[in-house]
Amino acid sequence: MLLALKQQWHGLQRSSPGHRFQNRYASARRQRDRVPTWQRILQLGLALVLVAAGVVFVFIPGPAILFFALAGAMLASESRAVARGLDWTELRVRSGWHRVGRFWTKLSRGGKITFIGLVAALLAAVGLAAWRIFLR
């Protein structure tokens, strides 16, 4: 099972953005007759566990993106809709990330410090609001 996960990860890395998960779906579709039903059910269960681990690692230091990518690959192998959605999301996230990078490089040192301060203040306000709502 770990070998299969490793192969899926490498397959995702080799595929081009916008087609990674659809390629994974097509590959799994071709091999579907050779994979027992219990193994597919186990894979779906493991994908849900990986999503849960990714959610936990978002809030503590850890490789959350790795867990989400592996879970996405496993879920995409069973659903064309999930595969298309993940490919669409990847393209939007990459585009947004590039825009943020361009914005960041254009800022002066003082602008970067101000921006970091504003983001920290916003995160603190959201954290305080969440604390008041959920823990009081």
Angle between helices 64-76 and 37-59 (to 10 degrees): 150
pLDDT band at 121 (very low <50, low <70, confident <90, very high): very high
108 φ/ψ angles, rounded to the nearest 5 degrees = -75, 175
Alpha-carbon gap, residue 22 to 78, rounded angstroms: 10
pTM over 0.75? The answer is no
Alpha-carbon gap, residue 126 to 120, rounded angstroms: 10
The pLDDT of residue 105? 93
Q: Classify the C-alpha dihedral 32-68-14-99 as positive or negative.
A: positive
Tens digit of pLDDT for each residue in 56-76? 888 877 788 888 878 887 888
Q: What is the mean pLDDT of residues 82-87?
A: 90
